[in-house]
């Protein structure tokens, strides 16, 4: 038995999230179905639990294989049985103690905003489209740095899913404005449910001039709850971009 890591890319609009679902499809469901089709019956474990509608460029999963696989052949075999909305981008043999979730050092998410009167049709399922011209992205970019460091993100967690410990350490957070595209990048070891999308919602409040940086800073420095923050930004603009591990697990 060998442990194999897979890097997956998927269109989250076709799924109810990563995790296997009782009613509806999770990405885990279709991956495990594809594994059965190639003679494997193992459970797949993902690095991050993306919510319904959230996409992934670089989700990582692992499973314990019953058969002996050359990674490239496994990638081709799985892609032949996966729907067009999911692709295995890389496969690799790993150490037996590798764990897609527990071994991860950090995860990067990216959120894409398109701020223009018109939007390219092929982009619409993958961005938050804002038509207004009243957004000022400079104060929002300055406010984004408030997330960096160790803070209590209770106000940035879906109320029904808030754990007892809501402190998280953010390694990097930056909002970048280039023409009509606005990109929010955030890197952390772990996240609360809806944390990134609520963070984006708060940055939109700052960009629209309805709130300022001190308000955002107060949300993570005090004992604010979910009601104190903004609405949750829509899922379609969010991507699980990359998962980093202590050692390079890929051959390429």
**DSSP character string of 223-250:** ---GGGS-PPPPGGGEEEEEEE-SS---
CB burial class (10 A; 0-12, 13-18, 19+) of residue 225? middle
List the catalytic residues.
51
- The residues pairing with 129 across neighbouring beta strands, listed in sequence order, are 114
**Cα–Cα separations (whole angstroms), residue 16 to 43, 51, 52, 53, 66:** 18, 7, 4, 6, 29
| Pairing of β 2-10 and β 45-46 | unpaired
């Amino acid at each position: 038995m060998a442990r194999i890591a897979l890097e997956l890319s998927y269109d989250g609009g076709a799924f109810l999230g990563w995790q296997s679902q009782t009613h509806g499809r999770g990405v885990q469901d279709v991956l495990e179905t594809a594994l059965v089709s190639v003679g494997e019956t193992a459970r797949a474990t993902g690095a991050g639990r993306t919510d319904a509608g959230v996409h992934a460029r670089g989700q990582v999963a692992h499973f314990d294989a019953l058969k002996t696989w050359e990674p490239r052949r496994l990638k081709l075999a799985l892609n032949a049985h996966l729907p067009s909305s999911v692709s295995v981008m890389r496969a690799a043999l790993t150490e037996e103690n590798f764990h897609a979730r527990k071994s991860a050092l950090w995860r990067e998410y990216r959120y894409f905003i398109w701020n223009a009167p018109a939007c390219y049709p092929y982009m619409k399922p993958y961005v938050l489209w804002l038509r207004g011209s009243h957004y000022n992205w400079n104060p929002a970019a300055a406010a984004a740095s408030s997330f960096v460091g160790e803070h209590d993100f209770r106000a940035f967690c879906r109320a029904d899913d808030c754990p007892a410990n809501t402190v998280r350490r953010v390694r990097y957070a930056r909002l970048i404005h280039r023409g009509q595209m606005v990109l929010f990048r955030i890197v952390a070891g772990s996240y609360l449910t809806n944390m990134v999308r609520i963070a984006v919602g708060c940055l939109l409040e700052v960009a629209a001039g309805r709130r300022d940086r001190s308000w955002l800073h107060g949300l993570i420095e005090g004992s604010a709850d979910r009601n104190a923050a903004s609405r949750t930004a829509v899922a379609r603009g969010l991507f699980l971009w990359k998962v980093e591990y202590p050692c390079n697990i890929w051959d390429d």
